[in-house]
Structure 1
Amino acid sequence: MALGPVLDDEREDRAHRPWWETRPFVAAVILLSMVPLLYPPIPPLVDLFGHMGRYRVQLDLHNSPWLSQYYGFHWAAIGNLGVDLLVMPLGRLIGLEPAVKLIVLAIPPMTVAGFLWVAREVHHRLPPTALFALPFAYSHPFMFGFVNFALSVALAFLAFGLWLRLGRLGKLRLRAMLFVPISIVVFFAHTFGWGMLGLLCFSAEAVRQHDEGRSWWRSGINAALHASVMALPLFIMLAWRSEAHGGMTRGWFDWDYKWTYIKQALRDRWKWFDLASVAAVGLVLLTAIAVRRLTFSRNLLFTAMVLTVGFVILPRTVFGSTYADMRLLPYVLATAVLAIRFHGPTHLPLARVLAILGLGFYAIRLGGTTVSMALAANDQKAELEALDHVPMGARVGWITDELSCGHGWRLPTNSHLGAMVIVRRHGFSNDQWVIEGLNLLDLKYRAAGKFASDPSQITRPSWCRGRGGWFVNAALYQFPRDKFDYLWMIDPPPFNPVYVEGLTPVWRNGRSILYRLD
């Protein structure tokens, strides 16, 4: 009997939704998040090119007479397989490079959709302030090329939206059954995303339990029991780590780095632009505190606080995976912004202003990211013309510049560009990560010595002092010419030309140069 009036109320509510809550608008902002990635043939994300080298090995190792000389590959149940698994069928279907672009292109809209779904479930409508969280789909971790992590976070927020919805509808048994396989999928995408999903669901369930009249202590216990349905990957992880003996954990409570990560939450190319964007997000949060008409959802605010504790506790490196705490920070800020709502009924004049400002902020960030990626893509396209002069299976040692002695702001998008030797020439490149338990690539060609793996390709000019590092002149002096066929210098730091005497240049592009080793 009551169903009819409820449906009538919902239809009336839909008919009077403000423009930022309409389905066409939501679909538009989700699709707009793909714009920065449409032009580049390969997303110019820092680490992505190194990952693509590994993808080529896993796809073609047994079909390539060259790759099998340099690399091996073994599958294992590790929590870092998101894009690796997707590339296998899609890469064989449409080719590796289009497959990578398509997969990475899907991550920002999935992230934006997850943000908006969470906000809708918590507030029962879409607050205009949620638009200020959307630029975090292109946060520092994503721009750095942590694609497995970024994919797992996108999945985690989508799953969190489902968790909230099923909890709101009281379908707890169905939720428990669904989140066993969901947690496994997120875990295999990346362990950190699974951990974040657990924190999100635990904190939200604790608030829901407390809202039903239970004490915080009892609510926490009940929430832990509900979230325990996602614990199965813990046993997979224990088995994985028992077989992996490498991968250090270090950098606990390094406050200087943590403060830097806050400022770098939207780091890309222009420091003033990125810092101003983070400051704008901070201003939105302060406005929500200062303006009486605005407040925070206890649900998402508590979730943001739990994530903040995770950020504080996490070390800088976990199991050999660097920037562990940095990866979490942008999503702490995004969750805090998503928590903002109106105190009482929506005040439409203020809501319209906030919606316009939020949409403008989102558009400006997307525009800046689009230009930045286009610039990087054009630069990389010009650099990759060198591969036209490299034969199949060649051993290519390469070096590039650690920008501004490691103190620069612009992301070093060419730090793994040389891995395209593996992707397009099935050759050897000295930039692959060799950390046990971190990925599934095995290094066979160890004759290159110091130039066998990452970070041998990243060098510094001779005047950089104080932090140590791999100086370009020392690298060129120690370069084992008899172990390589080519030396490729991609926008290198200034160096002493005496160290390249006797090498035959076969291609140039500005400061970049490809030498043949006769």
Structure 2
Amino acid sequence: MSQISLPAARGGSLLQRAAKIDVTLAFVILTAVVLVPVFLVAVPPLADYINHLARMHVIAIGGKDADLAAFYRIDWQLIPNLAMDLVVPLFARFFDIYFAGQLFTATTVLLLVTGPLAISKVLFGRVNPLPLVAFVFVYNGIFLVGLMNYLVGVGIAMWGLAIWVKILDRPLILRLAVSTALVAALYLCHLYSLGFYGMAIGAYEIWSWAKRGYKFDRKLVLDIVAMVVPVIPAAVVLLTSSTWGLSGEYAWNSHTKVDGIAYIFRAYSDSLDLGLTALLALAFGWAMRRKLISFHGAALPLLVVGTAVFLAMPELLFGSYMADQRLPAALFLMLLGFVRLDVSDRTVRACFFGMVIAFTAVRTADVAYHWGKLGHIYDEFRQSVASLPRGAKILVTYADDPQGSDLERDAISHAPCVAMIERSALVSTAFTVKGKQIMTVRKTFQDRVDTEDGTPPTVSQAVVAAYPPTDEPVTKTYWSNWTQDHDYMFVLYTERGVKNPDPDDLSLVYEGDGFQLYKINR
């Protein structure tokens, strides 16, 4: 009997070793591919990214720049939105701020693609290649918005779920210590990523409890203690933080649900994204028919709980938009770790790796192409502010008739913040909302900037504000007195050759793709 089983055991061992080598090789290739866009341009053109990076610069400078210190102050407090604030300034001690941001972005990408692999390894006991599909969709619609603190938290949450499952049977004291550390890290990343982690381990525990016949046993009590106790300190900190002051800001919207699902697969080219998604769906369906796909038992509870949370979540929560739309992409990546592909057939294994590498290369090439184009615009923004005096005060406005696609407009919506890095400027759209960021504007300049994270005025609104009708009541805004309070004005979403909207008060300084920079005449 041993003579019969020994070759089979050896065959199984060789198969596992070959699969592990294939996964490792594919992982190295895929990693090299998906990181190309990150280091292709100095500023990854993610909508909110440059605004956050400007704050990192202020933190890294640490008051050594007199102009920035005159405009901004850093109010360190334990708000659930600090991942970049804690990490990037440390990187900036060794590299310039742009490369420090690239390193953080690359770290975020790696966490998002390795999280599903870690979950799969723990759930199935061996390396499985299916979670490599995360490489295809890591550049999704939520990533392109630039929600960096949330995204790095999602990556840590996936690793956290893998660790939670790994130590389920270890002593309670160890579980409490590890879970407390994870909760603390996720709290510092983003409140939503902490909620995502709690949702995931809660769904897994529901499956585990059901598997034991819904018995109220010692195991259930220990699991509840391990889940609840580490959250108590985080809850206390949240209740005493300035973020809790935003708890009344929420709004539910049914229209955002479809967008949230679309963000899983959407990048820059709708036809390409739809085609790749359809081909992957067909391949998945074929594998299901051949019974090459299997699901871990906890996949269904996670999908059900995640869907219920997604449908119940508001669009605006704690003053942050896209609260619900963030969840589907994160849930999709996590669920990849709960799916197993049978790769005992060499042909199936080769086809899978070839398909994932090819699809990742095509999608990443599309991202790199668009980042190259948008990166050129960011270079123009940096050139446009090069001649500005240090400490300039800049008002950001929008064109009356916005030009360019939605993706192009989103990508440059915060580009004027490069002036904070390059010329130590005061920029009206810099993120300075109390409870959401630790950077605030000093009292002297608070009436010249947007402290509520609102929408900038159109250039016509600004011109009207400069010459208000004498017979109508005037609403005071931060741009009401821009001819005296600011030195320069950016007009975004415009095009070259557009007529000066106010020749008496504005002189053109620079024209770029999608924007104009004017000097305000005194």
What is the TM-score of this pair, normalised by structure 1? 0.85
Q: How does 1:319-330 map onto structure 2 within 5 Å? A: 319-330=318-329
Question: Does 1:250 find its partner at 2:253?
Answer: no
Question: Does 1:333 find its partner at 2:332?
Answer: yes
The answer for the alignment partner of 2:490 in structure 1 is: 488
Q: How does 1:91-102 map onto structure 2 within 5 Å? A: 91-102=92-103
Query: Could you tell me whether the CA contact under 8 Å between 2:44 and 2:375 is conserved in 1?
Result: yes
Q: Aligned-pair distance for 1:86?
A: 0.9
Question: Does 1:108 find its partner at 2:106?
Answer: no
Query: What amino acid maps onto 1:379 in structure 2?
Result: I
The answer for the alignment partner of 2:79 in structure 1 is: 78
Alpha-carbon distance change, 456 to 472 in structure 1, aligned in 2, over 3 angstroms: farther
Describe the superposition over 1:403-429 as per-residue Cα deviations: whole angstroms up to 9, x where unpaired: 968983556111111111111211110
Q: Aligned-pair distance for 1:102?
A: 1.4
Alpha-carbon distance change, 382 to 15 in structure 1, aligned in 2, over 3 angstroms: same
Query: Could you tell me whether the CA contact under 8 Å between 1:268 and 1:409 is conserved in 2?
Result: no
Query: Could you tell me whether the CA contact under 8 Å between 2:112 and 2:333 is conserved in 1?
Result: no
Q: How does 1:185-196 map onto structure 2 within 5 Å? A: 185-196=185-196
Percent identity, aligned pairs only, is 18
Query: Could you tell me whether the CA contact under 8 Å between 1:400 and 1:457 is conserved in 2?
Result: no
Describe the superposition over 1:273-328 as per-residue Cα deviations: whole angstroms up to 9, x where unpaired: 33444545555665566554433222233223222222112111111111111111
The answer for the alignment partner of 1:204 in structure 2 is: 204
Query: Could you tell me whether the CA contact under 8 Å between 2:119 and 2:161 is conserved in 1?
Result: yes
Q: Aligned-pair distance for 1:134?
A: 2.6
What is the TM-score of this pair, normalised by structure 2? 0.84
Q: How does 1:489-508 map onto structure 2 within 5 Å? A: 489-492=491-494, 497-508=500-511
The answer for the alignment partner of 1:472 in structure 2 is: 459
Q: How does 1:156-171 map onto structure 2 within 5 Å? A: 156-167=157-168
Q: Aligned-pair distance for 1:110?
A: 1.8
Alpha-carbon distance change, 210 to 318 in structure 1, aligned in 2, over 3 angstroms: same
Describe the superposition over 1:80-108 as per-residue Cα deviations: whole angstroms up to 9, x where unpaired: 10010112322233232222221112110
- Measured in 2, the distance between the counterparts of 1:293 and 1:72 equals 57
Alpha-carbon distance change, 209 to 401 in structure 1, aligned in 2, over 3 angstroms: farther
Q: How does 1:412-491 map onto structure 2 within 5 Å? A: 412-444=410-442, 449=447, 451-453=449-451, 458=456, 470-478=457-465, 480-491=482-493
- Measured in 2, the distance between the counterparts of 1:278 and 1:185 equals 33
Describe the superposition over 1:68-88 as per-residue Cα deviations: whole angstroms up to 9, x where unpaired: 332222111111100101123
The answer for the alignment partner of 1:463 in structure 2 is: none
Q: Secondary structure at the match of 1:412?
A: helix
Query: Could you tell me whether the CA contact under 8 Å between 1:389 and 1:507 is conserved in 2?
Result: no
**RMSD after superposition:** 3.3
Alpha-carbon distance change, 88 to 422 in structure 1, aligned in 2, over 3 angstroms: same
Query: What amino acid maps onto 1:512 in structure 2?
Result: F
Query: What amino acid maps onto 2:195 in structure 1?
Result: G
Mean CA deviation greater in 499-508 or 100-109: 499-508
Query: Could you tell me whether the CA contact under 8 Å between 1:316 and 1:326 is conserved in 2?
Result: yes
- Measured in 1, the distance between the counterparts of 2:245 and 2:505 equals 43
Q: Aligned-pair distance for 1:491?
A: 4.2
Query: Could you tell me whether the CA contact under 8 Å between 1:262 and 1:329 is conserved in 2?
Result: yes
Unaligned runs of 5+ in 1: 459-469
Question: Does 1:50 find its partner at 2:51?
Answer: yes
Q: Aligned-pair distance for 1:483?
A: 0.9
- Measured in 2, the distance between the counterparts of 1:131 and 1:45 equals 24
Q: How does 1:300-379 map onto structure 2 within 5 Å? A: 300-342=299-341, 346=344, 348-379=346-377
Query: Could you tell me whether the CA contact under 8 Å between 1:163 and 1:201 is conserved in 2?
Result: yes
Alpha-carbon distance change, 199 to 107 in structure 1, aligned in 2, over 3 angstroms: same
Q: Secondary structure at the match of 1:194?
A: helix
Query: Could you tell me whether the CA contact under 8 Å between 1:128 and 1:358 is conserved in 2?
Result: no
Q: Secondary structure at the match of 2:329?
A: helix
Query: What amino acid maps onto 1:501 in structure 2?
Result: D
Query: Could you tell me whether the CA contact under 8 Å between 1:160 and 1:201 is conserved in 2?
Result: yes
The answer for the alignment partner of 1:118 in structure 2 is: 119
Q: Secondary structure at the match of 1:62?
A: coil
Question: Does 1:272 find its partner at 2:275?
Answer: no
Alpha-carbon distance change, 386 to 404 in structure 1, aligned in 2, over 3 angstroms: closer
Alpha-carbon distance change, 315 to 474 in structure 1, aligned in 2, over 3 angstroms: same
Query: What amino acid maps onto 1:427 in structure 2?
Result: A
The answer for the alignment partner of 1:462 in structure 2 is: none
Unaligned runs of 5+ in 2: 1-5, 466-478
- Measured in 1, the distance between the counterparts of 2:179 and 2:362 equals 37
Query: Could you tell me whether the CA contact under 8 Å between 1:267 and 1:274 is conserved in 2?
Result: yes
Q: Give the total of aligned pairs.
A: 496
Describe the superposition over 1:214-256 as per-residue Cα deviations: whole angstroms up to 9, x where unpaired: 3278787764343224313222222225x7534643222x222
Q: Secondary structure at the match of 1:321?
A: coil
Alpha-carbon distance change, 135 to 502 in structure 1, aligned in 2, over 3 angstroms: same
Mean CA deviation greater in 90-99 or 43-52: 90-99
